[in-house]
């Protein structure tokens, strides 16, 4: 097609392109859940959580000295199995239940050395009481129950909506968790 005809064709079609833009073409908007910058565990580096907008998330509050601390293995296994397909695992250490190290270097040692965690762990913060971490404040605003103990897990879809909440006793690799993750990863 000659350039002049292409120009006129585009001019004629332009009004129709403004009528409806498919959702997948819209730029990602940062949901309130991720609208914060937080420090990585035992680091001076901060990370803008908005970079995870549009991705399915598994959010979990953790502790180094809890009967459920062994769940780090299952969380890491989920991370390794599903990261390439888009799942982001975010760990939030907390001492709200008096089972976390006071020294972040000790928390980091438990996570990174003892359990080989490679998913993103953020600095220690409050998840259930007091001055809540912004992510947990947003979870509460979405209608999620705040953690009643360590290793409470939340699944968030690509639109930043809560789709699942799992108590501490639910193992990360349980059939119900994996089934819900599979559903999340198939959503457009």
**Cα separation, 80 vs 15, whole angstroms:** 46
* Residue 66: active-site member: yes
Phi, psi of 124 (to 5 degrees): -60, 135
DSSP code of residue 158: T
Q: List the catalytic residue out of 30, 50, 66, 111.
A: 66
Q: What angle do CA 185, 68, 145 make, to 5 degrees?
A: 60
Are the C-beta atoms of 83 and 41 separated by less than 8 Å?
Answer: no
Catalytic site residues? 66
């Amino acid at each position: 097609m000659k350039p002049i005809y292409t120009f006129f064709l585009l001019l004629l079609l332009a009004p129709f392109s403004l009528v409806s833009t498919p959702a997948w073409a819209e730029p990602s908007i940062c949901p309130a859940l991720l609208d914060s910058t937080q420090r990585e565990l035992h680091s001076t580096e901060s990370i803008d959580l908005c970079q995870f907008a549009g991705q399915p998330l598994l959010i979990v509050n953790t502790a180094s000295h809890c009967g459920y601390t062994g769940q780090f293995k299952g969380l890491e296994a989920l991370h390794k199995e599903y990261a390439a397909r888009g799942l982001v695992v975010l760990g939030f250490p907390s001492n709200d239940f008096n089972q976390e190290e006071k020294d972040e270097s000790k928390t980091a040692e438990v996570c990174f050395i003892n359990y080989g965690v490679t998913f993103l762990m953020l600095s220690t913060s409050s998840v259930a009481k007091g001055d809540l971490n912004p992510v947990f404040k947003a979870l509460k605003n979405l209608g999620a129950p705040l953690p009643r103990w360590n290793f409470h897990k939340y699944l968030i879809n690509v639109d930043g909506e809560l789709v699942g909440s799992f108590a501490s006793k639910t193992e990360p690799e349980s059939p119900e968790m994996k089934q819900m993750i599979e559903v999340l990863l198939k959503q457009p």
